[in-house]
Amino acid sequence: MKITKITSHVLQCDMPEELGYSQQYYAKRTAHIVEVETDEGITGWGECFGPGNVAIANKTIVEKVIQPLVLGMDALDRDVIWHKVYNLLRDHGQKGMPLQSLSGVDIALWDIAGKAAGLPIHKLIGGAHRSKVKAYGYGMMLKRESAADHVARFVDEAAAIRDMGFAATKMKLGLGPKDDVKLAEAVRKGVGDDFDFMADANHAYNTSDAFYVGEALGDLGAYWFEEPIAPEDLDGYRELRARLKVNISGGEAEFNRWGWRSLLESRGLDIAQPEVCALGGITEYLRVLALCHAHFTPVVNHVWGSAVAVATNLQLLAAMPPMPGGLFPREPLLEFDTTENRFRDHLLAEPLDIQGQVASQDGYINIPTKPGIGVEPDRDFLATYALDL
């Protein structure tokens, strides 16, 4: 089954309102969908992590750099293709956009393999440890408003996400250490004492400020403190993990097995958060998952993007073994962005309806069982939101 064409569909739309996190505000939403075609008529779909102009740059890498390397190769030779592309691009970047671009292509090849076999991806990996998963809903984004207005809004948004049926919720940080502690207190007030909440700093702090916020999060009973400091600061992560009560999580900005080896060996994470659409696709994700479990580090996948990314992660969560196991293990969760996202909710010919499933199934989402990643994009939708390049 030969690869005949690879197409990048970069989608973009205006958002209903501007939202932000610790690094920036944004008013447009982007998705980068990869389509791989074969001479046997089977088409695979994948997704590349990266918004805005990053997606435009990745489109060039996918179509002008990766595509010429793999045209005519057997689409089922996923590992051969992965290593050929990685080895030939090694001199030009072992992390970042080359790996994001390879990720979308690799996911599409797994989709092709599943369709060729008539099996969902979780069956190709080794089977499903679970047929359904719960999700945590994140929201509480930053806006151009006062700290006091943030506090009042976070109380209400946290309670609303809890009442939607999600298993936990996650907030954004980024106003500064003292105001961020007030935001965390607002979220605890909103969800009550017996509901898990997490806090995501998107590497906003230096180590001393991270200790200040992390100590408060520990006292509030937060489940994890996500990306408190720059991902390069492995020593800082190790120091935070050793001294704080709250779990330290991270890894969405790490790539491939070699980057993850260094991160895990530094012993700075309580919870690993690999991003399959960035680190190298499913082929490399499975190696990273094995590394995490070899270090007895639980994994909660980072999920950001369209319905293709969500469906891919549902397959991976189904196939993820419990770690370390037991009668009542803490099950993996799907990360779900509760803000408006038409590329997630309306992209597919048959929508996943995550929020509807959460509300009607006691917080659970079914794992797709159709071949491949289990979903198909609506081509009319792709055409409607295609970015004119």
Catalytic center residues: 302
| Helix, strand or coil, per DSSP, at residue 99 | helix
Residue whose C-alpha is closest to residue 380's, from 105, 9, 8: 9
Q: C-alpha 64: how far from its chain's center?
A: 26
Q: What is the pairing mode between strands 196-200 and 333-337?
A: unpaired
Rg over CA atoms, the chain: 20
**Token output for 39:** 């001479």
> DSSP H helical segments within 306-362, as ranges?
307-319, 342-345, 354-360
Q: Which secondary structure element, helix H or strand E, spans residue 226, and what is its range?
A: strand 224-226
Q: How many CA atoms lie within 13 A of 41 on its CB side?
A: 0
Separation CA 232–CA 238 (nearest Å): 12
Q: What is the DSSP code string of 234-259?
A: HHHHHHHHHH-SSEEEE-TT--HHHH
Q: What share of the chain is helix, strand, coil (3-state, %, to 5)?
A: 45, 20, 35
Please report, to the nearest 10 degrees, the dihedral formed by the alpha carbons of residues 184, 222, 17, 134 taken in order: -160
**Token output for 80:** 């051969």
Separation CA 115–CA 201 (nearest Å): 39
**Phi and psi, residue 286, nearest 5°:** -65, -35
Residue whose C-alpha is closest to residue 314's, from 255, 362, 373: 373
Q: How many CA atoms lie within 13 A of 117 on its CB side?
A: 19
Instruction: Reply yes or no: is the peptide bond before residue 324 cis, omega within 30 of 0.
Output: yes
